[in-house]
């Protein structure tokens, strides 16, 4: 791995109860850009996961009793440390995940922003008073931390997906255990080192890294001492985890798959729409849940839009994310490339045309050519599945009602985007799209101040924003009676 300036960030063991827990059995973490093994990590399993839960349970009374101001100060220190180490953390992230260094550093800032945001929100957990039905009573509502939170986070955002869950949980007064994806454990472990340096007490924040996804997932989702479970990942795995959480009736929040429509109306600013599609489709090599999946373009502007998009996509530089100027890194694995290629081939057979790319890229076995397909229909595999790769699937449409119906014709409901300059249409379409987040003349919508989350089979709960703490708080109603003298 490229050298980092602070070696303390390179950790290879789970972080449990404030200690680094080594084990004899190791697993390898490799750089998807080259296949090079960059770390051998202690392979934690069921017993380490149980130990982490026990530690989080023990740490809960003191952490939840700490004043919000004190928790805020510690979280703010963690935020500052993350930003001070942004470059090193970016190198670690690119080395294990593949995204270009500039994008990785952007992710570090994005993840840290949630910690900063929730360090501030920690002080704003307000209750309520409610007029009681009789004069001798008073009704008061208080909010309390839900307890021990378990999280499973994905490989596509190894820093930010964990940061935005942990930040909200810790700010609310909960304690936390996370199992990061085994492809990308190093970013989470580096964050744990900085959590330790920031003064987060032992047991409040725990990271268990291991290959036994199913065994560790079962413990985290079924253990009676875990009161809340949160997951970012695919819809099928989310469904399984929800069913496992049912045995102990845990609170769950799920950020699952997406199939984002990106609609370009004939009154749109086409250049702006092309830039929006480019960033929303090709960032992280198309491997985000909010990536544009289906591009609907009005037939009057489809040629102009496609030509301009082609010019931009042809110029994207593909390669190792640590090489200066690279804009698209590798996919996470060869299997991920094969899955995308299968969708392309199956849709070609049904009549879609690949007008750019569509093949493995010469940069290496985990790389795909940035691709554009035209003549796509909404029910073709490249449109009905979440692509999770750098492929634009362009679908023509004629009118507003038709395109809203096509956009909503999916079991997913995470993000949607559209471009129009007509104010009446903007309201109609924004309200008509059955998605949790809508970008209007905007291709990048994620930030700490906004509620991130989906509807339908894209999940539930919201991360970030003033709503983000709610998922980690219980509402308690206090009824005071006998107040008349």
Determine if 446 is a binding residue for ligand SIN (CB under 6 A): yes
Name the minimum Å distance from CB 154 to ligand SIN: 7
Residue from 290, 337, 344, 416 that binds ligand SIN (CB under 6 A)? Answer: 290
- How deeply is 335 buried, as exposed, middle or buried, from its count of CB atoms within 10 A (0-12, 13-18, 19+)? exposed
Q: How far apart are CA 100 and CA 215, in angstroms?
A: 33
Cβ contact 98:90 at 8 Å: no
402 annotated active-site: no
Determine if 183 is a binding residue for ligand SIN (CB under 6 A): no
Name the minimum Å distance from CB 345 to ligand SIN: 25
Residue from 43, 97, 156, 306 that binds ligand SIN (CB under 6 A)? Answer: 156
* Site map 208..247 versus ligand SIN, x via CB under 6 A: ------------------------x---------------
For residue 20, give the 3-state DSSP assignment: strand
Which residues have CB under 8 Å from 236's CB, separation 6+? none
Residue number closest to ligand SIN, CB atom: 446
State which residue, 226 or 437, has the beta carbon closest to ligand SIN.
437
Nearest to 448 by CA among 419, 469, 473: 469
Q: Would the CA dihedral through 108, 109, 113, 115 be positive or negative?
A: positive
- How deeply is 234 buried, as exposed, middle or buried, from its count of CB atoms within 10 A (0-12, 13-18, 19+)? middle
Which residues have CB under 8 Å from 477's CB, separation 6+? 139, 140, 141
Name the minimum Å distance from CB 102 to ligand SIN: 16
State which residue, 277 or 290, has the beta carbon closest to ligand SIN.
290
State which residue, 230 or 446, has the beta carbon closest to ligand SIN.
446
State which residue, 230 or 232, has the beta carbon closest to ligand SIN.
232
Q: How far is CA 20 from CA 40, 42, 47, 53, 345, in A?
A: 14, 10, 15, 15, 47
Piece of 89-97, 235-243, 284-292, 395-403 that binds ligand SIN (CB under 6 A):
284-292
Determine if 157 is a binding residue for ligand SIN (CB under 6 A): yes
State which residue, 330 or 454, has the beta carbon closest to ligand SIN.
454
Name the minimum Å distance from CB 438 to ligand SIN: 14
324 annotated active-site: no
Q: What is the CA radius of gyration of the chain?
A: 23
Cβ contact 163:447 at 8 Å: no
**Catalytic residue among 245, 289, 291, 337, which?**
289
Q: Which two tokens stand for residue 147?
A: 């307890």
Name the minimum Å distance from CB 101 to ligand SIN: 18
Name the minimum Å distance from CB 255 to ligand SIN: 6
Catalytic residue ranges? 255, 289
Interface positions with ligand SIN (CB under 6 A): 156-157, 232, 255, 288-290, 446, 452
């Amino acid at each position: 791995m490229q050298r980092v300036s602070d070696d303390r960030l390179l950790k290879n063991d789970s972080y449990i109860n404030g200690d680094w827990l080594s084990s004899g059995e190791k697993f390898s973490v490799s750089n998807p850009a080259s296949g090079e093994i960059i770390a051998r990590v202690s392979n934690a399993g069921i017993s380490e996961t149980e130990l982490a839960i026990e530690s989080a349970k023990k740490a809960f009374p003191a952490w939840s009793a700490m004043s919000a101001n004190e928790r805020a100060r510690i979280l703010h220190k963690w935020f500052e440390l993350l930003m001070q180490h942004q470059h090193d953390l970016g190198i670690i992230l690119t080395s294990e995940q593949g995204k270009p260094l500039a994008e990785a550093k952007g992710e570090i800032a994005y993840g840290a922003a949630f910690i900063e945001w929730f360090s501030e929100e920690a002080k704003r957990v307000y209750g309520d008073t409610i007029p009681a039905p009789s004069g001798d009573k008073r009704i008061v509502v208080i909010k309390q931390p839900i307890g021990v939170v378990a999280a499973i986070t994905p490989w596509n955002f190894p820093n930010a997906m964990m940061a935005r869950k942990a930040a909200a949980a810790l700010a609310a007064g909960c304690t936390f255990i996370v199992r990061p994806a085994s492809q990308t454990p190093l970013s989470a472990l580096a964050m744990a080192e900085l959590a330790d340096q920031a003064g987060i007490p032992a047991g409040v924040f725990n990271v268990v890294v291991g290959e036994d996804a199913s065994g560790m997932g079962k413990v985290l989702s079924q253990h009676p001492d875990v009161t809340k479970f949160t997951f970012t990942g695919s819809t099928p795995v989310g469904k399984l985890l929800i069913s496992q959480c049912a045995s102990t009736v845990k609170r769950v929040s799920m950020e699952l798959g997406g199939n984002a429509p990106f609609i370009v109306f004939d009154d749109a600013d086409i250049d702006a729409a092309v830039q929006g599609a480019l960033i929303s489709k090709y960032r992280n090599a198309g491997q985000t849940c909010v990536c544009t999946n289906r591009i609907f373009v009005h037939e009057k502007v489809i040629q102009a839009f496609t030509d301009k998009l082609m010019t931009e996509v042809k110029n994207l530089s593909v390669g190792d994310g640590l090489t200066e100027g690279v804009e698209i890194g590798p996919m996470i694995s060869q299997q991920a490339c094969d899955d995308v290629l299968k969708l392309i081939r199956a849709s070609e057979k049904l009549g879609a045309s690949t007008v750019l790319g569509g093949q493995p890229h010469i940069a290496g076995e985990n790389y795909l050519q940035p691709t554009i397909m035209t003549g796509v229909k909404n029910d073709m595999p490249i449109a009905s599945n979440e692509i999770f790769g750098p492929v634009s699937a362009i679908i023509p449409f004629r009118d507003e009602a038709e395109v809203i119906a096509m956009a909503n014709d999916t079991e997913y409901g995470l993000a949607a985007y559209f471009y129009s300059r007509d104010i009446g249409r903007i309201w109609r379409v924004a309200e008509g799209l059955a998605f949790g987040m809508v970008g209007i003349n905007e291709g990048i919508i994620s930030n700490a101040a906004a509620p991130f989350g989906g509807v339908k089979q894209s999940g539930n709960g919201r991360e970030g924003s003033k709503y983000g703490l709610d998922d980690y708080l219980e509402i308690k109603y206090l009824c005071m009676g006998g107040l008349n003298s």
